Amino acid sequence: MSEPHDKTDPEVEQPLGTGEERPEEVPDAKPWLPSPHQVHRYKDAGAIAEAAAKRFLETAGRAVEKLDHFVVVLAGGSTPRSLYRRLTEAPYRKSVPWSKTFFVFGDERCVPPDDETSNYRMVRETLFDPLEIPAHRVLRMKGEETPADAARRYEVRLGDLFLTRPRPGFDLVLLGIGTDGHTASLFPGTEALDEQERWIVANHVPQLDAWRLTLTFRALNSARRVIFLATGENKARVVAEAFGGVEHAETHPCERVAPLHARREVLIDRDAASLMPHETEPASSP
């Protein structure tokens, strides 16, 4: 479990891999460690949305400048919904390079795209439709298909998306944090936690008695930048354990999203930060 970091580090500009590459072993060398995470606390969900929108714009600009397009992984949930709505407003509506942005989903429920629980439906209503994003820039996970088939087809689409890149990987990954420590649909105790080859799998979640489609750690750890979003007192315990250094028995799935040479940031409100040790609470920044 990495130690939290209180300052914003310069973004690393070197090419990134799939999250599996490691430096060659050298006698007496320090063990490999992921980039330290940065915790930022805000007063409420609205302030988090504004801070995340600024980071979204910054990351998109850097990606387009370097690679001529921007690939972002979207999260479901109420806190990301506030971010998506903010992105449709000034100044982001006109300043984000939407025409060069491709949208990937971190996970999806196995339901049709018009189902009220669909992550795609939520993002379509709050982001895609207001901005008139064309369908070919959205890689929708087809939850209405057989889970295993949908996962295989999505992995092929991801491969096609990365054909023009030096190495496969995402420019920005947006993630939520569950009260049990899950992120995307990587729930504790599920088989997807052990997947090391695939970028997306169908994952059965016994505690929900449901199937989910989810990106794997291999996919998420290809990111150049990761931003976790969490609000509410019910997230306080897991946030303190995963990102505040509070002792806990088992590693939470969200802790395992730890790319090499990437910025990892945790944006939380006062309630979610209520159990964080004082020394790990830096002043919030936009």
- pLDDT tens per residue across span 138-193: 999 999 999 999 999 999 999 999 998 999 999 999 999 999 999 999 999 999 99
The three-point CA angle 148-136-216 to 5° equals: 35
Structure tokens at 70: 């921007």
Mean pLDDT for the chain overall: 89
Amino acid letter, 82 = S
Burial of 5 (0-12, 13-18, 19+ CB in 10 A): middle
Distance, in Å, from the CA atom of 157 to the CA atom of 163, rounded to the nearest integer, reads: 10
Residue 261: per-residue pLDDT:
87
Residue 16: per-residue pLDDT:
27
Q: What is the average pLDDT across 256-270?
A: 95
Residue 155: per-residue pLDDT:
98
Residue 36: per-residue pLDDT:
84
Collapsing DSSP to helix, strand or coil, 74 comes out as strand
Q: What percent of the chain is modeled with pLDDT above 90?
A: 83
Q: What is the average pLDDT across 205-209?
A: 97
pLDDT in tens, 5-58: 433 333 333 222 333 333 333 344 444 466 789 999 999 999 999 999 999 999
Q: What is the average pLDDT across 56-73?
A: 98
pLDDT(232) > 80 = yes
Strand order across the 37-42 sheet: 4-5, 37-42, 263-269, 225-230, 172-176, 70-74, 101-105, 138-139
Residue 130: per-residue pLDDT:
98
Residue 20: per-residue pLDDT:
37
Residue 278: per-residue pLDDT:
74
28 or 266, which is more confident: 266
- Strand spans (E) along the chain: 4-5, 37-42, 70-74, 101-105, 107-109, 138-139, 172-176, 200-205, 210-215, 225-230, 263-269
Three-class SS of 131-151: HCCCHHHEECCCCCCCHHHHH
Q: What is the average pLDDT across 212-236?
A: 98
Residue ranges and CATH numbers for the domains of the chain are 34-280 (3.40.50.1360)
> In which region does residue 194 sit, left (phi positive, over 0), alpha (psi from -120 to 50) or beta (all else)?
alpha
Residue 33: per-residue pLDDT:
61
Residue 282: per-residue pLDDT:
45
